[in-house]
Structure 1
Amino acid sequence: MKLLIKQRVFSWTDTYDVYDENGNPKYLVKNEMFSLVHRIHVTNMNGREIGRIIQNFTLFVPKFDVEIGGRPFGTIEKKFTLFYPKYELNYNGWRCEGDFLAWDYDVYSGCSAVVHISKELFHWGDTYVIDIADPKDEIMALMLAIAIDAANCSNN
């Protein structure tokens, strides 16, 4: 299954719309307006919050706590590397590897690929496609993709 994440270009805060593979709106992602760190809320189309991503204040590497369904779920930390982006995940037993330009990420559970996140070029605003092997991992994959985008924005 696939999800498409599209950034709203003309918005006061970082806001994203998430669509299913048929182009139907599925989730809304919104960062709090007057926060010094990322505080991102993910809601379904009825406005019910399904998760939050909260940035921990660290000096050199972005680190995020993920809550799903109101409960702590894990952490995602971008490591300092020179060439390939690397993330340390304490998140569902997954590990994540990125490419040189930080446009494509593969997420593994053990030796099996469970999620592929790719950035689409030549769009207004950031646009990502999340290809998820198992539909039960949809929310976890979405939250991870949003945290990776936030970590990349924090470094820039």
Structure 2
Amino acid sequence: MKLLFKQRFFSWFDSYDIYDESERVVYVVKGQLSWGHKLVIYDANGNEVGMVVQKIFTFLPKFEIHKNGQFIGCLNKELSLFVPHYNLDYNGWHIDGSIMEWDYQILDSNGNHIASVSKELFNFTDTYVLDIENPQDALDVLMFVLAIDAEKCSRN
């Protein structure tokens, strides 16, 4: 399953549209005013299905992930020199990035591929392609990618 993650061009807060392979909107992400990043994910019918909340006052960036109102895990940036690494407190997953921070691999605890994430270049806004092995993992993968994008945005 592929998802296209595209930031809206004119928006006061972080705002994204997530498209499927048929170019239908499957999720809408809206940023909310708060300390740190707070992103709320809605399905195509406008129902809230997830939330990414940045925890402030931490040494390294940390984001809590909520799905259908329930806490499911955290994403923590790990201290690394050249290639970004993220620790996920979720199903044993971990994320490794490329040196330019444009491409990421999400793997399970056995090293099995969960998803590939690549940033499309030459767009006016942040645009990522999420190639997800199991469609049931799509929302979870999306929320972790939103957290990574928010973390990168915080540095700029």
TM-score normalized with structure 1 length: 0.95
1:89-133 Cα distance to aligned partner (Å, 9 max, x none): 102221110000000000111221110011100001000000000
1:62 to partner: Cα distance: 1.1
Q: Structure 2: which 5+ residue stretches go unaligned? A: none
Q: May I ask how many residue pairs the two structures share in their alignment?
A: 155
| Residue in structure 2 matched with residue 15 of structure 1 by the alignment | 15
1:60 to partner: Cα distance: 3.9
Matched AA of 1:2? K
Moved over 6 A (4+): none
Q: For 1:66-77, what aligned pairs fall within 5 Å after superposition? A: 66-77=65-76
1:128-152 Cα distance to aligned partner (Å, 9 max, x none): 0000001111111111111111111
Distance in 2, Cα, partners of 1:124 & 1:22: 22
Q: State the identity %.
A: 44
Distance in 2, Cα, partners of 1:155 & 1:85: 13
Distance in 1, Cα, partners of 2:136 & 2:48: 18
1:59 to partner: Cα distance: 4.7
Q: Structure 1: which 5+ residue stretches go unaligned? A: none
Distance in 2, Cα, partners of 1:92 & 1:140: 11
Aligned CA-pair RMSD: 1.1
Matched AA of 2:102? W
| Residue in structure 1 matched with residue 151 of structure 2 by the alignment | 151
1:13-34 Cα distance to aligned partner (Å, 9 max, x none): 11000000111111101111x3
Q: For 1:20-99, what aligned pairs fall within 5 Å after superposition? A: 20-32=20-32, 34-99=33-98
Between stretches 127-136 and 80-89, larger displacement belongs to 80-89
Distance in 1, Cα, partners of 2:127 & 2:111: 28
| Residue in structure 1 matched with residue 2 of structure 2 by the alignment | 2
Distance in 2, Cα, partners of 1:123 & 1:144: 21
| Residue in structure 2 matched with residue 124 of structure 1 by the alignment | 124
TM-score normalized with structure 2 length: 0.95
| Residue in structure 2 matched with residue 142 of structure 1 by the alignment | 142
1:57-83 Cα distance to aligned partner (Å, 9 max, x none): 135421000000110000001123221
